[in-house]
Structure 1
């Protein structure tokens, strides 16, 4: 009996271990396009981490760094989730040249429209976000803001949020390009999901605003773009950190899926009778052997 009990205990432990949840992480890097993820069987909660992209550097000044956001999301097995990974802004040199904003909301920077000045300006970095129930801006449940682009006067871009993006650096009498917030875009052009775009006439020599929940703004002259805001309103246990990512953004999903154990085939009625008969014969055979050993 003791051997039987030990065997049952070992079998139970092995079955429990085989069914234990095993953590897995899936990482999404920048591609410049929408990416998707189908929730595996047995998964009901996913921990989401996102890093926004940085703005491009100008002459003598860095672009703003991308922000970070994380939280837990309730999901349904089989549903499709949508991932957008922000791209870093690009650079412009010379007269009347735009600096393209990064994928997913980075605003364009712009060189001067009136005179040829040596130097470079940067576009804003794109946000990285996670969407559930659809792939529109309104379906975003978690966002990491992108950094603003820098400009030629050693004026940096603002960092992506945090719940609020940082303001861009200010120079030469230009207005302050503010960061995006939870309810509004930054001054001069920041909007829902989009960083402000610098204009060759109205806003020359400016870095672009960073993408975000709300994008960062741009200045009216010679200043860095504001950073975009992050967002955690669609997740539980969320948190954000501003200014942590250089280059393109990234998204990581961590989840636990139970590994199903191999099912034991069920015995039929006759199979149970046969098993019982075998056990009776085995017990009958074992009793005389025990008596003889005494």
Structure 2
């Protein structure tokens, strides 16, 4: 119609127009369906970037802040040390130095490993700490599988200090501490965090709990960033079970001395089980022993 109101002019962008976003190139033709009407836009409504730009920028800053915070927490936890921890740590260093420099072979396995195996090294270190006057024991933890945690077991050393007025203090000695948290496909941020860990850890149980919480949180974040599944053996509950689950204490060459978290369940034996007491209705005929 001749008298009809003139249509608002429209502009169609070519598919060759490209918008640059961090890490990608997006075509305008893929972003807009049909035509874009040219309308007047007030200056106050003009923004310098898209929502996606802002989200990506926020994500980068958030991740950076997270890893910086984990670094600070980890270093602060590692740097703290009580008097008993310092003494046991120094004794452990001296014992390991003597073992490494000694010409005597400490591996007494049926098939000795060149340079010594970790089990015999643990036994030898335990004996030397006992010689130094410390109440050192070998702890072996063991836990059953559950819906979220696979079964497993772990062995480490522990020094029990009873001189404190607060009661018994557990000081854990882990000879392979850093390796317990290493991951093959970890991110650069996670590997940098792990690099702060000592190869041999000597510290109170409370300090170890704090470190496990920090490291497991970092492992979860690392796998989320890489869009990978976090194995159940890397989760907080599994790592806690290694050092804080039900365990038995023993000394080198001896039987377990006691179980933590309660005594072991008594086992019935024909040598100690009183049948007449348990089964009062049972009639027994005396038998002459020749």
Same fold (TM over 0.5): no
* TM superposition score category, shorter chain reference: under 0.3
Higher relative contact order (CA 8 A, sep 6+): 1
Bigger helix fraction: 2
Tell which structure's C-alpha radius of gyration is larger. Answer: 2
Q: With the length of structure 2 as denominator, give the TM-score of the two structures.
A: 0.23
Query: TM-score when scaled to structure 1?
Result: 0.23
Q: Whose strand fraction is larger, Structure 1's or Structure 2's?
A: 1
